[in-house]
Amino acid sequence: MTTASGVAPSVVSGTTPLPKTSSDSGASLSSAAGSTLAGNFQTFLTLLTTQLQNQNPLDPLDTNQFTQQLVQFAGVEQQLKTNDQLTSLVSLQQTAQSTQALGFVGKTAVVDGSTTKLTNSAATWTLGVASNSNVAVTIANSTGQNVFSGTYAVTAGQNQAFTWDGKGNDGTQWPDGKYTLTATAADSAGNAVGVSTQIQGMVNSVDLTQSPPLLSINGQNYTVNQIKSITN
- For the chain of 232 residues, list the mean pLDDT of each consecutive stretch of 10: 42 38 45 58 72 67 67 71 74 67 83 89 90 94 94 87 92 93 92 91 83 82 82 72
One domain, residues 128 and 165: yes
What's the rounded Cα separation, in Å, for the pair 11 and 118?
A: 11
In sequence order, the 6+-apart residues with CB closer than 8 A to the CB of 228 are 109, 110, 111, 112, 198
One domain, residues 127 and 189: yes
One domain, residues 79 and 31: yes
Residue ending a domain, among 102, 136, 167, is 102
One domain, residues 89 and 121: no
What residues make up the domain containing 95?
25-53+60-102
One domain, residues 153 and 192: yes
One domain, residues 122 and 195: yes
Residue 145 lies in a domain: yes
Amino acid 146: pLDDT = 94
What's the rounded Cα separation, in Å, for the pair 127 and 139?
A: 14
One domain, residues 30 and 87: yes
One domain, residues 134 and 86: no
Beta strand pairing status for 177-186 and 115-118? antiparallel
One domain, residues 94 and 166: no
Element (H, E) at 173: none
Peptide bond into 212 cis (omega under 30): yes
One domain, residues 126 and 92: no
Do 102 and 205 touch, CB atoms closer than 8 A?
no
Instruction: Give the CATH number for residue 137.
Output: 2.60.40.4070
Per DSSP (E only), the strands in 83-231 are 108-112, 115-118, 123-129, 133-141, 146-154, 157-164, 177-186, 192-193, 195-207, 214-217, 220-223, 227-231
Amino acid 40: pLDDT = 65
What's the rounded Cα separation, in Å, for the pair 160 and 198?
A: 10
Domain count, the chain: 2
Residue 136 lies in a domain: yes
Residue 107 lies in a domain: no
Residue 73 lies in a domain: yes
